[in-house]
Amino acid sequence: MSTAANVLQADLAISAEQCLRLYRKMMTIRLFEQQVNDLYTRALMPGLAHLYIGEEAVAVGVCEALRNDDYITSTHRGHGHCVAKGAKLDRMFAELLGKEAGYCKGKGGSMHIADPDTGNLGANAIVGGSAGIATGAGFSAKRLGKGQVAVCFFGEGALGQGVLYEVMNMAALWKLPVIYLCENNMYNEYTHYSETTAGDILTRAKGFGVHPESVDGQDVRAVYAMASKLVERARKGEGPSFLMANTYRYTGHHVGDVSRDYYRSKQEEQQWKTERDPIKLLGNWMTTERLADTATLDRIEAEVKAEVDQAVQFAIATPYPTVDKVEQDVYA
């Protein structure tokens, strides 16, 4: 389906109320991630984090099409997926700071947040490592017959992992309700994906009998429209699909990757930020269509900033787990 067709379908499918909700959610992810970077640079957060800034439309558009009891699996760049699926900001920040109030009681950190209550089966630091988990969730969903769907988020770097093709083969054979969602942000760490990934990506999925689609990952309306189509297809028992969302990360591979001139230009980064920013694209479209005015969008940003600031203060103030709990909730 072409981008134009995607946008047309999105125009028909998304109400003004939904647009404002999508805008708020994307803004929440953006401001959350900015605070994560601030916590890291102030040495308040242990370890590294991989920021989702620039890719917000993918997680938000997809999760808008899901029910609360649908499943997702995430990646090392997983904060956006967590927020989009309904995680609470204060508990997320607490987890990032290693505090007991965090989703994994401070033991998971940035790359291992999970929230079963919202269907989030967890982020995974292993590239492609959650593909089997998502496929297992899809198998469970089919056996239980409750109409649930599993979405497996992964980056284009996972296209080099054999486990992805093993589970896609199984999902196709058993017609499992799984959507394999490739967030192609163009770079495998510090290398452009064209140097690591041979052939046509969608043809790989098609070779396994998995229904392939692609979408403009910077257009949240297009993402939502396409995700809705694939989710409905999965619920009807028509088997797995593969969706490639073409997107871009504004920052480095991780928070320590500050100077990126050796693998991409500042001009390229600036062009994506000015011309293809997902929040600006939706905001401009809403104001043009008179679904919202600038004052409304500014008010949303101010409200979200206050929520994020409050969540950060909670995380800083809440205690660390005590030493006697070091062996609790550890299974491997």
Number of domains in the chain: 1
**What pLDDT score was predicted for residue 13?**
56
Indicate whether 37 belongs to any domain: yes
Integer Rg of the chain from CA: 19
Look up the pTM and report it. 0.94
Asked if residue 168 lies in contact with residue 242, where contact means CB atoms within 8 angstroms, the answer is yes
Indicate whether 2 belongs to any domain: no
Indicate whether 330 belongs to any domain: no
Q: What does the DSSP assignment read for 299-329?
A: HHHHHHHHHHHHHHHHHHHSPPPPGGGTTTT
Q: Token digits for 312?
A: 């950060």
Helix (H, G, I), strand (E, B) or coil at 292: coil
User: Which stretches of the chain score pLDDT less than 70?
Assistant: 1-13, 332
**What pLDDT score was predicted for residue 273?**
96
Indicate whether 331 belongs to any domain: no
Indicate whether 324 belongs to any domain: no
Indicate whether 289 belongs to any domain: yes
C-alpha 273/C-alpha 277 separation (Å) is 5
Asked if residue 228 lies in contact with residue 65, where contact means CB atoms within 8 angstroms, the answer is yes
CATH of the domain at 297: 3.40.50.970
Q: In Å, how far are 87, 187, 318 from 101, measured between CA atoms? A: 13, 34, 7
**What pLDDT score was predicted for residue 7?**
45
| Sequence-separated (6 or more) residues with CB below 8 Å from residue 282 | 19, 22, 23, 26, 57, 220, 221
Write out the residue range of the structural domain in which residue 76 sits.
Answer: 12-319
Q: In Å, how far are 41, 81, 182 from 125, measured between CA atoms? A: 21, 14, 16
**What pLDDT score was predicted for residue 266?**
94
**What pLDDT score was predicted for residue 11?**
46
Count, in order, helices (H) and strands (E) of the chain. Answer: 12, 7
Indicate whether 151 belongs to any domain: yes
Indicate whether 100 belongs to any domain: yes
